[in-house]
Amino acid sequence: MKMRSWIFFFLLNLGAAGLWAQPANPGYKPVTQTYALKNATVVVKPGQTLQMATVIIRDGLIQAVGTNLPIPGDAKVIAADSMFVYAGFIDGLSYAGIPQSRPTAAAGQAGPPQPGQQAQRQANAANPTNEQAGIQPEIKARNVISPQEKSLEDLRKLGFTAAHVVPQGRMLPGSGALFLLTGNTADEMLIRDHTSLFATLNGARGVYPSTVIGVMSKFRELYKQAEQAKMQEAMFAANPAGMAKPANNKSLQAFYPVLDKKLPVYFAVDDIRSFHRVLTLQQELGFPIVMAGLKQGWYVADMIKSKNIPVLLSVDLPKAKETPKPGEKKEGEAAPKVDPEKEQLEARAAEEMKKLESQAAVFAGKGIAFGFATYNGKPAELRDNLRRMIKNGLTEDQALSALTTTPAAMMGMTQALGTVEKGKMANLVVSDKPYFAEKSNVRMVFVQGNLFEYEAPKAAPAAGPARTAGGTPAASVGGKWDYAIDAQGDAYTGVLTISDNAGAISGSWSSNQIPGNNAMINPVLKGNQLTFSSQINMQGQDMTLEFDLQIQGGSFTGKISIPQVGTFDIKGSRQGGPNGLE
Amino acid sequence: MKNSLLLLPLLLLGVWGFAQSKTGSILLKNGTVLTVTKGTLQNTDVLIVNGKFTQIGKNIVAPAGTKVVDVTGKYVMPGIIDAHSHIAIDAVNEGTAPVTSEVWVGDALDPLDISIYRALAGGITSVHTMHGSANAIGGQCETIKLRYGAYNPEDLRMEGAPRTIKFALGENPMRSHGEGRGIQPRTRMGVEQVIRKAFADARDYDAAWAKYNAEKAANPRALQPVYNRRLETVADILKGNIIVHCHSYRADEIYMLLNVCRDFGVKKLCFQHVNEGFKVAPELAAFGAGASVFADWWAYKFEVYYSTAYNAAILTRNGVVTSINSDDAELMRHLYHEAAKSQHFGGLSDDEALALITINPAKQLGVENRIGSIEVGKEGDVAVFDQHPLSVYAIPQLTIVDGIIRFDRQNDKKDMRLEVDPAQPIPAFNMENYEHVDRCMQGTEDLWYYLFENEKH
C-alpha cells in the first residue's frame, strides 16, 4: 500500500534546458545564402523523382529545380552526386523545443513538496488552481518554446525541418503553432501561430481532475462554460448597460475559436480506448478534431475513413525483440524444454507486434491520408520504426506523404511546405542513400535555406559477439548495483539487480521511493550498453520507464526517460566496490 | 511453434466473430429451465431470436438457420447480474473531492478487460460497474452487458439502462477527505452534511435555472447561471432520474441516509454492502430501498465487524429487494455459490436464492423489465450449468448474451485476451504473485501515505 513516490514530482521540475544548450546557429553569417545542390536524385514529391537534377536555393526559398539548370555565380555549389533530396519533413504534433519543465512548474504539478505545501495542496485537491489542474489552454507554444532545446536538433538531424509544436502538460496544456526547426528566437522560428488547441485525457496528479473520468467531465463543463462566457461577452460588447462585467476567464476564452470551429482540437489518443473516448466528446460537442498520435488504429480505420477524421499516427513502436539465433545452445546442455503455452503466448505477441507495425500500411491501403506525430515516440527510434512500417506494407511514397505533403496540408501550408518545387520554402533533407534504406544517413538538412551538415557515422568496428571489446570478453554485468538519480540535489537511490546468465540478461530494480521490485522488461546488452524498460503504476496510471545505461567496469552512467515527464541522469556502481562480484 | 502459429488466426477469428453483431438467435433444446420468476420447467426448450426470448416450451421449431444446442440434462438460468463491480473500467475513483457526481465511469469503459471474459465463464451476463467509494457522492456508474470481443466501448453499454450513481458512507470518505486532507467529512456526521449540502445546493442550482428560463422570454439579456455539471447531476438525483447506490455498512448510517433521502424526496435508493442491513431490514422495506450484500465477507475494516451470513436471508424475509454482489473480479466468477450460501444460512428457497443474482439485481438497476428472468420478450441472456447452479458441483457450460454465445466451456480458447502488449514479458500467473486488490479505493493510495507514512517522519 506504500504507493508514493516523490520522484516524479522532482523529475518534473528538473531544469533540463541548460544541459542541452547548443547553439542552433554557429553565430557567423554564412558566406552566401545561395546554394546549388548539383546532380542529385530529387524526390520532388511522393511519386515524382528527377535524376541528375539540381536544386537552387536562394534567400530561404527554392529558386529552381530541374536538370541542366544554370548555376548562379554567387551559389555555393554542393556536389550531391549519388545523394537523395527530399522535402524537409513536418512533424504533425511534437514537443520539440518545449522545455521539460517550466519555471512555474509544469501544469498539474505544484513542484517538489515543501513542508506545509503538500498539506495545502491536499486540502485544495478539490479546488485546485487551473495551473495545478493542468488546465491552461491559454498558454501559447510560441511563448514556451525554447530555441536552445536539444530536442529541436534531435528532430532536425532526422530530416525534420518544421514541427507543429504544442506545450506539454496534462488536460489542456495550451495551443500549438507551426515552427521552423531553426532560429534564434521563437519569433524567428514561427511559421504559423495558433494552429491548434491541444488536449489530452491525462488527469492532474493528486488534484481535480485526476482521472480520465474527471477529465472527460471537466472538458464538457469547460466547453459549455466557454459557450456561456462567449455569449455573455458578446452581449456586453453590444450593450454593457445594466450588465455585470464578464468574468474574462482566459482559459475559457482560449476555447472561443474552437467554438467557432475555426481552430481544431488536436487530441492526444494513445490507444483504441482513448480514441473512442475522444470521439465521444467530439460527437457530443461538435468541435473540429485531429486525432493525434494514434496507436491500435486498425480497429477504427474504416470509421476514420467514413467519418473523414483527420489523423496523425504515432511513430512509436514497441522495441523489436531480438530473435535468439539457433545453435546458441552450449555443449553438454540439455535442449531447452519446449513450453507450448509459452510458445503460443509468444506467437500471440508476435502477431500483435505485426499489427502495430502494419498500422500505417492499413491506413494507407484504405486511402486515408495521415501524418505522423512524434510527441509520443522517441526520435532515436524513428527511422528504424519507419523502416519497420515499410517492411510491413507501407510504401516509401506513402511514408513520404505522411512526413511531408499530408502534414503540410493539415497545417494549411501546402503552398510553402511539403515538396521540392520552385517557390517553396527551402526546407530539404539530403541523404546519402534513399532515405528509408538501411544504413542511409542524413548528410544535410536545409531549414529555410540554412544549411546543417552531418557527418556519416564512422564504420563501427567489426561487430563481434555482443560483449567483446578488443577480443577480451567483458566481465559479467551480473550482480547488485547501487544507483542514484540526481534530481536537483536530491538523490533517489536504490538497487539494480542484474542476472547475467551467459549473456541472457534479466533483473529488477528497487527504489527508496517506489515499493517492491520492478522487473526489467526486454533487457538488451550490446557492448557496454544495457537498455531495458520497466513498468510502474502511479495512481492508477501505468508508466513505462526506459533505461539506457553505459557500463564501464564497476560503474555506469546513463539516462532514464519517462514519457511526458522527461529524461534524467542516472549513475551507479557495483556493490562491494568496482570489481566486487556478487 | 508451427502448430501454435497456425492456431493463432483461428483464435483471433473466434474473438472477432463475436464482435460482428450485438444480437443473435439460438435454440436451447430440452433443458431444465430455471425461469426464476415463473418456476422451473423440465425438459423445456428456450428460443432466442435476434437477442430476445421468443418462445419457451416443448418441441419448439427454430427458424431455419438458427443455431441449436442440445442442453439435455443441463440447467438453463437467466444470465447472472452483478450489481456491484469495478471491472471493465480504467478509472474507479475521482477521489479528489468529497462530491464528484459529474464524473461517470461510463466514460472510461475498457472493453478489452480480460475480466469480462472471466466473468462470462462464471455465468455473468450483465454487470453494474461502479465508481469507487472514496467520496460521499462519487461518480455515476454504468450498467454493461458482457459483449466480450467488442473494441468499441459503446458496444458494452446496456443501452437505455437507467443512470445510477455511487454514494459512500463511513470510513472510506472520512479517510479520503477528513483524515487525508483535513476537510469535511472527517466524521460520519460530516458525511451526512456533505450529502445534505450537495442536495441543497443542487436545489438552489435548479431554482436558478428555472428562474432564468422563466425570465428569458421577457428579458433577452437575462444571464444563465454558470453551468455546473456537479450540481446538475445532483439535481437529476432529486428529480428521480438517477438511482442512488450507496456504499454502507452500519445500521445507524443506513437509517441516516433513509432520512436524508426522505427529506429531499429521493426515492430511488439501493444500499451496497449494507452488512448491518439485517438490523434495519423493516425500515429498508418500508422505504422501498434495495440491499446488495456479500454472502459472507466481512471484518476487513473496523466498521465491517458486526456482520452475519444470514444478512441476505433476513433482508429477503423482511421484504427487501436483496441481491448478492461480488465487488471483485474473482468472486464474480462464482456468484452462484454466493447465492447458494443463502440457502445454507437462512434456508431461502431455490427461486429466492437465484433471485439474489438475477431478477433482484435487475430491479436494483431498474432493468427488471429487460433482464433477470427467462420470460418471453426479455433479452436473451442465459447461463447454462451442468448441475443445478446452487449445487456446489455446478460448473458453467455456456453463457449467452443477447442470443450470442460469449462463453462456451467446450470451446474455451486458451488465449482470450483482446489486447497484447508485445513488449511485455510473457505473463506468468501463480499464487505467489497474485495480489488481491480492493478496487473500491483505487486511486486514493497516496492518502495512505499521508496518513501513515508521514507520521513516522
Q: What pLDDT is stored for residue A520 in this prediction? A: 86
Listed in sequence order, the DSSP H helices in B217-310 are 229-238, 251-264, 281-287
* Residue of B5, B7, B92, B96 to mutate when probing chain A, most A C-beta within 10 A: B96
- Tell me what the mean pLDDT of segment A270-299 comes to: 97
Digit-coded pLDDT (tens) for B234-275: 999 999 999 999 999 999 999 999 999 999 999 999 999 999
Digit-coded pLDDT (tens) for B266-279: 999 999 999 999 99
Contacts of B7 in chain A (CB under 8 A): 344
d(CA B356, CA B372): 10
CA distance B284 to chain A (A): 32
Q: What is the CATH number of the domain that holds B200?
A: 3.20.20.140
Same domain, B74 and B102: no
> CA angle, corner A36, sides to A32 and A40, nearest 5?
150
> CA angle, corner A424, sides to A422 and A426, nearest 5?
100
Contacts of B91 in chain A (CB under 8 A): 211-214, 540
Contacts of A8 in chain B (CB under 8 A): none
Q: Taking the CB of residue B185, how many other CB atoms lie within 10 A of it?
A: 23
Contacts of A535 in chain B (CB under 8 A): 424
Contacts of A232 in chain B (CB under 8 A): 223
Q: At what angle do helices B251-264 and B188-216 cross, to 10 degrees?
A: 20
Q: Looking at residue B176, what DSSP letter applies?
A: I
Which triple of cell numbers denotes residue A162?
518544421
Domains A30-88+418-456 and A132-259 alike in fold: no
Same domain, B114 and B250: yes
- Tell me what the mean pLDDT of segment A89-101 comes to: 93
Q: What pLDDT is stored for residue A469 in this prediction? A: 40
Listed in sequence order, the DSSP H helices in A23-124 are 117-123
Is pLDDT larger for residue A113 or for residue B61? B61
* Residue of A217, A225, A245, A298 to mutate when probing chain B, most B C-beta within 10 A: A217
Q: What pLDDT is stored for residue A545 in this prediction? A: 83
- Residue A580, pLDDT > 60, answer no
Q: What pLDDT is stored for residue A249 in this prediction? A: 96
CB spacing of A347 vs B420 below 8 angstroms: no
CA distance A62 to chain B (A): 44
Q: What is the CATH number of the domain that holds B64?
A: 2.30.40.10
The residue among A223, A216, A218 whose CA lies nearest residue A201 is: A216
Nearest by CB to B98, from A119, A126, A206: name it: A126
Which triple of cell numbers denotes residue B399?
453463457
CA distance A354 to chain B (A): 9
Alpha carbons within 13 angstroms on the beta-carbon side of residue A537 total 12
Give the mean pLDDT of chain B. 91
CB spacing of A228 vs B224 below 8 angstroms: yes
Domain ranges for chain A? 30-88+418-456, 132-259, 467-574
CB spacing of B442 vs A540 below 8 angstroms: yes
* Residue of A9, A121, A211 to mutate when probing chain B, most B C-beta within 10 A: A211
Residue indicated by cell numbers 450498467: B143
d(CA B33, CA B74): 9
d(CA A260, CA A236): 18
Digit-coded pLDDT (tens) for B320-374: 999 999 999 999 999 999 999 999 999 999 999 999 999 999 999 999 999 999 9
- Residue A112, pLDDT > 60, answer no
d(CA B107, CA A212): 8
- Tell me what the mean pLDDT of segment A228-241 comes to: 96
> What one-letter code names the amino acid at A552?
Q
Contact partners, residue B68, CB within 8 Å, separation at least 6: B26, B27, B29, B62
- Residue A118, pLDDT > 50, answer yes
Kindly state whether residue B126 falls inside one of the protein's structural domains.
yes
Report the number of secondary-structure helices (H) and strands (E) in chain B.
14, 16
Please check whether residue A378 is in contact with residue A386, taking contact to mean a CB–CB distance below 8 angstroms: no
Q: What pLDDT is stored for residue A323 in this prediction? A: 58
Contacts of A208 in chain B (CB under 8 A): 94, 96-97, 100
Contacts of A119 in chain B (CB under 8 A): 182
Listed in sequence order, the DSSP H helices in A157-292 are 186-189, 212-238, 250-253, 256-259, 272-285
Same domain, B43 and B141: no
d(CA A531, CA A517): 18
The residue among B400, B350, B388, B395 whose CA lies nearest residue B145 is: B400
Q: What pLDDT is stored for residue B3 in this prediction? A: 42
Dihedral sign for Cα A373, A378, A383, A389, please.
negative
- The alpha carbon of residue B443 and the mean position of all alpha carbons in its chain are separated, in whole angstroms, by 20
Nearest by CB to A212, from B5, B107, B229: name it: B107
Distance between first and last Cα of chain A:
31
Residue indicated by cell numbers 519517462: A562
Q: What is the DSSP string of A187-203?
A: HHHEEEEEEEEEE--PP
Of the given ranges (A90-104, B93-107, B146-160), which has the lowest mean pLDDT?
A: A90-104
Q: Are strands B290-293 and B322-324 parallel, antiparallel or unpaired?
A: parallel
Same domain, B285 and B360: yes
Residue of B nearest to A126 (CA): B97
> What one-letter code names the amino acid at B312?
A
The residue among B245, B247, B251 whose CA lies nearest residue B305 is: B251
Kindly state whether residue B446 falls inside one of the protein's structural domains.
no
Q: SS3 letters for B295-327?
A: CCCCCCCHHHCCCCCCHHHHHHHCCCCEEECCC
Residue indicated by cell numbers 550498453: A529
Same domain, B272 and B389: no
- Indicate the class that CATH gives domain A132-259: alpha beta
- Residue A577, pLDDT > 70, answer no
Same domain, B104 and B127: yes
* Residue of B107, B236, B435 to mutate when probing chain A, most A C-beta within 10 A: B107
Is pLDDT larger for residue B18 or for residue A499? A499
Residue of A nearest to B16 (CA): A299
Which triple of cell numbers denotes residue A309?
477524421
Is pLDDT larger for residue A579 or for residue B30? B30
> What one-letter code names the amino acid at A366?
K
Same domain, B93 and B58: no
> What one-letter code names the amino acid at B310?
Y
Distance between first and last Cα of chain B:
55
Q: What pLDDT is stored for residue A104 in this prediction? A: 43
- Tell me what the mean pLDDT of segment B11-32 comes to: 69
Kindly state whether residue B355 falls inside one of the protein's structural domains.
yes
- Tell me what the mean pLDDT of segment B190-195 comes to: 98
Same domain, B367 and B384: no
Contacts of A221 in chain B (CB under 8 A): 102, 227-229
Give burial (CB, 10 Å; 0-12/13-18/19+) of B97: buried
| 3-state secondary structure at position A39 | strand
Burial B304-339 (b: 16+ CB within 10 A, else e): beebbbbbbbbbbbbebbbbbbbbbbebbbbbbbbb
- Residue A34, pLDDT > 90, answer yes
- Residue B126, pLDDT > 70, answer yes
Q: What pLDDT is stored for residue B393 in this prediction? A: 97
> What one-letter code names the amino acid at B190?
G
Q: Looking at residue B378, what DSSP letter applies?
A: S
Give the ipTM of the model, two decimals please. 0.91
Q: What pLDDT is stored for residue B226 in this prediction? A: 96
Q: What pLDDT is stored for residue B453 in this prediction? A: 44
Domains in chain B: how many in total? 2
Same domain, B291 and B240: yes
Please, which pLDDT band fits residue A322 given cuts at 50, 70 and 90? low
> What one-letter code names the amino acid at B305?
Y
CB spacing of A347 vs B5 below 8 angstroms: yes
Q: What pLDDT is stored for residue A472 in this prediction? A: 41
Q: Which residues on neighbouring strands pair with residue A350, listed in sequence order?
A: none
- Tell me what the mean pLDDT of segment A193-197 comes to: 97
Alpha carbons within 13 angstroms on the beta-carbon side of residue B92 total 24
Topology of domain A30-88+418-456, CATH: Urease, subunit C; domain 1 (2.30.40)
- Residue B29, pLDDT > 50, answer yes
Q: What pLDDT is stored for residue B1 in this prediction? A: 37
Q: At what angle do helices A340-365 and A379-391 cross, to 10 degrees?
A: 90
Q: What pLDDT is stored for residue A567 in this prediction? A: 72
Please check whether residue A128 is in contact with residue A209, taking contact to mean a CB–CB distance below 8 angstroms: no
Domain that holds residue B398: 1-78+373-417
Same domain, B144 and B270: yes
CB spacing of B415 vs A340 below 8 angstroms: no
CB spacing of A345 vs B221 below 8 angstroms: no
Residue indicated by cell numbers 446496456: B158
Q: What pLDDT is stored for residue A529 in this prediction? A: 83
Contact partners, residue B418, CB within 8 Å, separation at least 6: B15, B111, B112, B114, B148, B149, B151
Contacts of A207 in chain B (CB under 8 A): 96
Please check whether residue B120 is in contact with residue B148, taking contact to mean a CB–CB distance below 8 angstroms: yes
Residue of B nearest to A115 (CA): B454
Q: What pLDDT is stored for residue A335 in this prediction? A: 62
- Tell me what the mean pLDDT of segment A373-388 comes to: 95
Q: What pLDDT is stored for residue A88 in this prediction? A: 98
> What one-letter code names the amino acid at B114?
I
Digit-coded pLDDT (tens) for A153-174: 999 999 999 999 999 999 999 9
Residue of B nearest to A2 (CA): B449
- Indicate the class that CATH gives domain A467-574: mainly beta
Digit-coded pLDDT (tens) for B215-230: 999 998 899 999 999 9
Please, which pLDDT band fits residue A486 given cuts at 50, 70 and 90? low
Which triple of cell numbers denotes residue A240?
454593457
Helix (H) or strand (E) holding B77: strand B75-78
Same domain, B411 and B314: no
d(CA A296, CA A269): 10
Dihedral sign for Cα B168, B172, B178, B180, please.
negative
Kindly state whether residue B455 falls inside one of the protein's structural domains.
no
Give the mean pLDDT of chain A. 85
Kindly state whether residue B457 falls inside one of the protein's structural domains.
no
CB spacing of A345 vs B415 below 8 angstroms: yes
Digit-coded pLDDT (tens) for A526-548: 778 888 888 877 655 677 788 88
Q: What is the DSSP string of A447-506?
A: ETTEEEE-PPPPPPP---STTEETTEEPPP--EEEEEEEEETTEEEEEEEEEEEETTEEE
- Residue B380, pLDDT > 80, answer yes
Q: Are strands B290-293 and B269-273 parallel, antiparallel or unpaired?
A: parallel
Digit-coded pLDDT (tens) for B439-457: 777 767 666 555 444 433 3
Which triple of cell numbers denotes residue A570?
542516472
Contact partners, residue B131, CB within 8 Å, separation at least 6: A213, B92, B93, B94, B100, B103, B104, B105, B138, B139, B140, B141, B165, B166
d(CA B391, CA B295): 16
In chain B, the percentage of residues whose pLDDT exceeds 90 is: 85
CB spacing of B420 vs A208 below 8 angstroms: no
Contacts of B183 in chain A (CB under 8 A): 123, 126
Please, which pLDDT band fits residue B19 given cuts at 50, 70 and 90? very low
